Amino acid sequence: MKRVTVLLLILMTVLSCSDEIKFNTPAVQGKKDGDFWRAVYYDASYNEAGRVVLIGGSGNEELKFTVPNLELGAKWLGRGSSSKAEFEDSDGVFYSTNRLPDPELSFYPPDGEIEITQVTATSVSGRFWFNAFSNSGMETVNFSQGVFFDIPLNNLEGGLMSCDEVVAEAQAAEELYNNTDPGSTQYTEVCLAYKEALEQQIATCGGGGANSPLQIIINGLGDCQ
């Protein structure tokens, strides 16, 4: 009788775990629109602007996060944030947390969060979730229960920008922002780029207290609408 009870407990445990996300190392995986999704390749590196890009892909689909730095903690994803999530599906449809939905489709804005929980000399780990919209605003994709674990850090030294380089980039972004009409279609993207450049300057050069001049400018930009 005891043996039967033990077997039943084991069976119940296995069944209860059957819907859980499988976990391998290293890994980028989660639930895409409720279905399990896992990358077969992954990478973390700096782009030309000095920001960290985390990539995971499978077949013709690719998931990409862009964040200002590898500081531990949560980073908000959505319009007005210096961090963003992007996804390209197998049909070539491109989704981003920087895109707004068509009002007829949804009144809810794109949102999400990426949290960096561990950084070593060779890898980065964390978790994520987000809702993103296509360029047309008519299609949406949801990722939940997302994790990235032991993603290799590649070419990070080569991508690091000096403080002088970051300041120069922020000044160029400021000039473009000041010369862009707030009513133009390019305003939001230009404003977000300026905001990201200022946040990168704080991350690289310091000087980012709550009442610092740079932070006051960032706060004044709001969500760039």
Domain span at 135: 19-159
- 153 and 92 within one domain: yes
- 208 and 123 within one domain: no
- 132 and 62 within one domain: yes
**Is residue 11 assigned to a domain?**
no
Q: Which pLDDT score, from 0 to 100, does residue 209 have?
A: 72
- 169 and 128 within one domain: no
Domain count, the chain: 2
- 170 and 87 within one domain: no
Span 91-115, average pLDDT: 87
- 139 and 47 within one domain: yes
| 53-101 pLDDT tens trace | 999 999 999 999 999 888 888 999 987 788 899 999 999 999 999 888 8
Q: Is the pLDDT of residue 18 over 80?
A: no
Q: Is the pLDDT of residue 14 over 50?
A: no
pLDDT, greater one: 16 or 201: 201
Q: Which pLDDT score, from 0 to 100, does residue 155 have?
A: 64
Q: Position of tokens 């990478």? A: 43
State the Cα–Cα distance between residues 106 and 119, nearest whole angstrom: 36
State the Cα–Cα distance between residues 224 and 192, nearest whole angstrom: 6
- 216 and 114 within one domain: no
Span 118-128, average pLDDT: 90
Q: Of 166, 193, 158, 163, which Cα lies nearest the Cα of 46?
A: 158
